[in-house]
């Protein structure tokens, strides 16, 4: 199991939640919001943003992130409240005392089909809670005994089958340098999931516009892009109609990510001027992220900067 302890993603080492001696079992959740496939380097930011939004939720009065654990599309398990702590996500006090709550970073739009790596990570989390958290064999979804769509039909179908570990162990995306295209995949999403530059992915596979791929096709995985995100230059770098060297860097990220539909008629080109086209393309990027879409104003702040350049 690839496991990130609370301290390692920026939460206090021990959750202040109440003690839970044992549990009937484990309930699986999803985000139930728009969520976009992203590079793993952004997953801990996302987990932190969930904790912040839970702590800010006055109505629920959460003392901590509500989940026992969270699992990203790359199969990494982030410790939430952890073992022997009562979760806060199952709907009411009785339900929270009954079962642990494990949340998949899976959306109700965008990334809606759980990748094999995610299923393997969820299976890891279930096994961990049974082993170290005194969880019983019961397994279900948030919707069991509570009126909600959570964890979505696709993930729930897998839970109902007993949460089987994927046959390939969920590692196929990284092994052998080959990725097998799944229904609904498109190039930019695969590239973000594999943490590679989508143009490299197109190039090593001989793909040209319109970059058609089909389910079952095997794509060679290029070397990871290994990009370092340059420091945020400050909001003063992005003033409509003004030039700043950081705009060139921003444009490179927009072009890499495919956020280029607004342009003057000759395609979107990089350059030092922050134009209305730049602003609208940045807004598109913001709208593709569940956190940033709250305020898609098209002006990069530190989080937008990191999202576009990762
Ligand atoms: Zn839920
Ligand atoms: Zn991840």
Q: What is the pLDDT of residues 5-18, one digit of tens each?
A: 999 999 999 999 99
Q: How confident is the prediction for the chain on average, in pLDDT?
A: 91
Domain with CATH 3.10.350.10 in the chain: 175-220
Q: Which residues of the chain fall short of a pLDDT of 50? A: 172-175
Strand partners, 100: 26
Domain with CATH 1.10.101 in the chain: 235-309
- According to the model, what pLDDT value does residue 185 have? 80
Domain 175-220 has CATH 3.10.350.10: yes
Which helix (H) or strand (E) segment holds residue 101: the answer is strand 99-104
Q: How close is the Cα of 75 to the center of ligand 2, in Å?
A: 7
Domain with CATH 3.40.80.10 in the chain: 3-160
- According to the model, what pLDDT value does residue 172 have? 46
User: Which residues are placed with Cβ below 5 angstroms of ligand 2, an ion?
Assistant: 40, 43, 72, 74
- Render pLDDT for 97-129 as a digit per residue (tens, 0 to 9): 999 999 999 999 999 999 999 999 999 999 999
User: From the CB of residue 224, how many other CB atoms can be counted at a distance below 10 Å?
Assistant: 12
Tokens 């739009």, located at residue: 109
d(C-alpha 40, C-alpha 167), whole Å:
23
Q: Is 269 strand, coil or helix?
A: coil
Q: How close is the Cα of 238 to the center of ligand 2, in Å?
A: 30
Q: How close is the Cα of 310 to the center of ligand 2, in Å?
A: 13
Q: How close is the Cα of 86 to the center of ligand 2, in Å?
A: 25
Q: How close is the Cα of 256 to the center of ligand 1, in Å?
A: 34
State what percent of residues in the chain have pLDDT above 90. 66
Q: How close is the Cα of 106 to the center of ligand 1, in Å?
A: 11
Query: What is the rounded end-to-end Cα distance, in angstroms, of the chain?
Result: 25
Q: In degrees rounded to 5, what are phi and psi of residue 78?
A: -95, 125
Tokens 């913001």, located at residue: 286
Q: CATH fold of 3-160, please?
A: Lysozyme-like (3.40.80)
- According to the model, what pLDDT value does residue 293 have? 85
Q: State pTM to two decimals.
A: 0.63
Is residue 243 a contact partner of residue 200, using CB atoms and an 8 Å limit? Answer: no
Ligand closest to Cα of 39 equals 2
- According to the model, what pLDDT value does residue 174 have? 47
CATH code of 235-309, in short, is: 1.10.101
């Amino acid at each position: 199991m690839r496991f990130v302890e609370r301290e390692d993603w920026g939460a206090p080492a021990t959750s202040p939640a109440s003690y839970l001696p044992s549990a009937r079992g484990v309930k699986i959740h999803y985000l139930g919001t728009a969520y976009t496939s992203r590079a793993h380097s952004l997953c801990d930011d996302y987990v932190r943003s969930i904790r912040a939004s839970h702590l800010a939720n006055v109505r629920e009065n959460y003392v901590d992130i509500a989940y026992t654990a969270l699992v990203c599309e790359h199969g990494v398990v982030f410790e939430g409240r952890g073992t022997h702590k009562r979760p806060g996500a199952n709907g009411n006090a009785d339900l929270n005392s009954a079962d642990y709550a494990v949340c998949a970073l899976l959306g109700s739009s965008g990334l809606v089909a759980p990748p094999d790596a995610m299923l393997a990570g969820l299976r890891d989390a279930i096994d961990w809670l049974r082993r170290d958290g005194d969880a019983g064999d019961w397994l279900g979804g948030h919707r069991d005994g509570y009126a909600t769509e959570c964890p979505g039909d696709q993930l729930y179908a897998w839970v109902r089958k007993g949460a089987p570990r994927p046959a390939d162990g969920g590692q196929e995306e990284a092994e052998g340098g080959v990725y097998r295209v799944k229904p609904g995949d498109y190039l930019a999403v695969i590239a973000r999931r594999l943490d590679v530059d989508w143009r490299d992915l197109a190039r090593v596979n001989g793909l040209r516009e319109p970059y058609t791929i089909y389910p079952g096709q095997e794509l060679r995985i290029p070397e990871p892009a290994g990009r370092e995100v340059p420091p945020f230059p400050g909001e003063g770098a992005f003033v409509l109609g003004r030039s700043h060297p950081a705009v060139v860097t921003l444009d490179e990220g927009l072009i890499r990510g495919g956020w280029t539909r607004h342009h003057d008629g000759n395609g979107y080109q990089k350059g030092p001027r922050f134009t209305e086209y730049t602003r609208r393309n940045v807004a598109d990027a913001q709208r593709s992220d569940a956190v940033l879409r709250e305020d898609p104003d098209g002006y990069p702040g530190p989080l937008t900067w990191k999202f576009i350049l990762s």
